[in-house]
Chain A
């Protein structure tokens, strides 16, 4: 029994232990170790993502609460990531999965994932799976040929074979500041880069440089997801939708072009760089969303546009445009529509008519419009037209222009000529403008001109003018009015006549004031007062003021009283006359006349002709000829006279009178001046003309008077001096001039004779002396410009009363033997003055020779004495000469008598 009880006890104990064990087993854990865990782990990868799948162990079925799986990722044995996966009781028994994307390409190095379960503080052992990195015999860079968005941060790795030394890693086109290199393991290096720029060329190179230098690498396509904007959908044929968008380069042109899908359709509608595509749809009058999907390797973009396509009809251009009916001034155009539905639409079409560079557009309306009529065309003219259309309702877009169509209108008679007249030199010139191509409507064959007096309209004169002439000069009686009519003729007929009435040349009619005008910008802006007589407007004509010209004119409508006058013939610096006429039913009436320059030019220097100057006291007047209009290239507003002396001091005198022909510089001083006159114009002072003059102290008359007075004073002074000298030395002079006249001695004894002579000689009375021989000096040519006063012969009255009857044979004194020549040198008077006052005169000398005193007169030696004594003076021819025996007597002694001079009767004693 005890044994039985013992056995029973053991059984109970066994049962209790079994229960306890079974309870323990039911919780899957045994002393902290969880028996519920993972099994069938599978580690796969996709790109850089690792995918782990596993199942629960069977023991886990007993778990009644949330079971946690702990996951750890190890990159090259370094713990890189931790994660947990919660499994609810109802999920136990199913396959679990977990994924994680590595920052590294999986080729770079080993990626391990280990897994364990945790339940109520009990964990299962780790269960690990590993993806090994790439083992390579040569260096490699990963990832290869992958797409990256600009702005992302990417890690590249360089995997090296064993024994190879790493150098550096970098991206081409990137700066080192954007890159960071780290060592992952012995064989793996990583380069982390912030991609901030898209690939410029095909791709960006990721370089791994070894040591020694060898490079390996990979390509990275760095760009953008599709950048598409401005989606706009419309219909062109009312059977399909056509969408347009704008596209920005994503920098992935080669490997991954952007693909477009319309309306979620799986088929590709377009690829970049296309920016439109279409798709067949049912077009009805309702709004719809039109969606475009753009995608490339880096992403996808969706755009939508909401529209009722019936309001967005973008028509195709008209096809087959033809000019079906071409006339002189109108034409019919026809065309077709490629889309039949257009014939049911209310349309607006524009016809663009191109005419020698000028475009005009006309609009035409109609349902299914397929024709248009163009009016007001120019005959004989080539046109180019193109057409575009749109729906009349719900304007969306014009179609593009159709292809160009050319047509040439038929010819017609010429347009009415534009006729004007010019009266010149008693001739009436009828002139008309050359018909332009759009006015002649065909080749002009000739012009016909008819004319008649206004009083004799039935008698018409007629002439034809060749087509290359555009005027006709008629010599008509200008005192009466004439009517001139001109028509042009081409192959189609004659133009309507153009008539002008030539006014009679009544001077009163043409008398109007002339105003001045200045042009601007190459034209004249002319205005005038309205005239009630101008029933048909105004005519402005113009011509150069000087010289012959061909008049030009402009016709102005009646309601206009101003005109801008422009001509290609206008020249700056040329004066034009512009006349405004009133157009009347009769002859034109001159209203206004202006003269001016379209542009003033500086007048050239040397403007002033006959430029001369004259001193007037202390003033100096310069004068010139009136300046002709031909010389004036600008309006002269006045003149300025500049006086520049040699101190460079400039003084000016001016006048505002443009008609002035002289200017006076006043209050000048003695000296030389340069006088310059310039014309004042709106473009400055110009036309400078100069003269140089010297101002004297007085005028010529004053100088003359002055000279005369000085001369008189000098002569008077000399005379006074001579008088004084003569007075003081009168005795001597007397003795010299009047030597004692010997009394005739008949026959006497020697003793009386000589004494008597002596006495007489020394006691000559003064009265006797005054009877000196006369020396007549006939007027001769002045010497050295000096003339004796009043051209009077110089008279030296020395004629002795009693000697007229003396023979002259031997005693005719030569002119230089005149006492006057000898006396001054002895009496101290300057001999030169006398010499100058004597011309080379001939002398009618009547004298008695006996008055020559041998000791006073210079000894005359023929041929030599003259030169010495008279300074070139040449005496008249003498056949006989005096010879004086000069004695050495005391000058104070009484004059000695020389026997050869005075023939004394020889005494018998001697």
Chain B
């Protein structure tokens, strides 16, 4: 619920310009997780085993460059989502409940966000991919069993929330800059 509140607050703040996929994705990530994977513990710190990491730049990149980097991170997140789906289906079987429907929606909207960001910043010199960027060959949580899989899924979703949030901010900046340029 705390995440949901945060997501909703941000959505209200930015809903005028947001790309269609983002906030719904963000909200769904939060709500779906809290519904299905209900835990009573607090947010655990993000661990290095789940990360849509970016290569660090030496200096502050331009907004277009930031969006390209964002695109790359989201692509990795998409790969992780694919991985989550694979592992969950391996564990539970292929089910068709509400959770599975929401999970599919998150994946579709993330793909849509990737297409949107690609359209925004792709240039002749830069080609952006929208396919999942992950091999899905890592251990979820060692010998953690089903609980380990749940924890790992949770971390993937946290990562996705983080990058979706980051996307909202960066795209807003891009939108503002482009508007200013058009006015000039």
Contact = CB atoms under 8 A, between A and B. Distances in A.
Interface of A: 138, 140-141, 144-145, 170, 172, 201-203, 205-207, 209, 213-215, 217-219, 254-255
B41 A203 contact: no
A138 B144 CA distance: 11
A217 B146 CA distance: 10
B126 to A, nearest CB: 41
A219 B41 contact: no
24 contacts: A140-B143, A144-B146, A145-B147, A170-B40, A172-B39, A172-B40, A201-B36, A201-B37, A202-B150, A203-B147, A205-B147, A205-B150, A207-B39, A207-B40, A207-B41, A215-B41, A217-B147, A219-B146, A219-B147, A219-B150, A254-B91, A254-B92, A254-B95, A255-B146
B108 to A, nearest CB: 23
Contacts of A217: 147, 151
A201 B38 contact: yes
B93 A254 contact: yes
Nearest to B151: A217
A27 B146 CA distance: 58
What 9 A-B pairs come out closest when comparing CB atoms? A219-B146, A144-B145, A254-B92, A145-B145, A217-B147, A219-B147, A215-B41, A218-B147, A145-B146
A594 to B, nearest CB: 66
Interface string B124-160: 0000000000000000001111110011000000000
B145 A205 contact: no
B146 A202 contact: yes
A246 to B, nearest CB: 22
B62 interface: no
A206 B151 CA distance: 13
Contact of A203 (B95, B143, B146, B151): B146
A140 B141 CA distance: 12
Given A201-B36, A205-B39, A219-B147, 11 more contacts: A140-B143, A144-B144, A145-B146, A172-B38, A201-B38, A205-B150, A206-B147, A207-B39, A215-B41, A254-B92, A255-B146
A145 B141 CA distance: 14
B2 interface: no
Nearest to A171: B40
A213 B143 contact: no
B94 to A, nearest CB: 11
Nearest to A172: B40
A213 B95 contact: no
B13 interface: no
Contacts of A218: 144-145, 147
How many interface residues does chain B have, given as a range? Answer: 20 to 34
B38 A215 contact: no
B55 interface: no
Nearest to A137: B142
A493 B121 CA distance: 82
Contact of A214 (B40, B44, B95, B150): B44
Contacts of B91: 254
Contacts of A254: 91-93, 95
Max count, chain B CB within 10 A of own CB: residue among A206, A214, A217: A217
B181 interface: no
B1 to A, nearest CB: 16
Contacts of B146: 144-145, 202-203, 219, 255
Nearest to A138: B142
Contacts of B16: none
Contact of A144 (B92, B95, B147): B147
A878 to B, nearest CB: 109
B42 interface: yes
A172 B38 CA distance: 9
Contacts of B92: 202, 254-255
A254 B143 CA distance: 20
A151 B145 CA distance: 24
Contacts of A170: 40
Interface in B35-93: 36-42, 44, 91-93
A209 B93 contact: no
Nearest to B97: A253
Given A140-B143, A145-B145, A209 B41 contact: yes
Nearest to A200: B38
Contacts of B40: 170, 172, 207
A201 B150 CA distance: 12
Contacts of A202: 92, 146, 150
Nearest to A254: B92
B72 to A, nearest CB: 30
A217 B141 CA distance: 11
A663 B173 CA distance: 92
Contacts of B147: 141, 144-145, 203, 205-206, 217-219
Contacts of B145: 144-145, 218-219
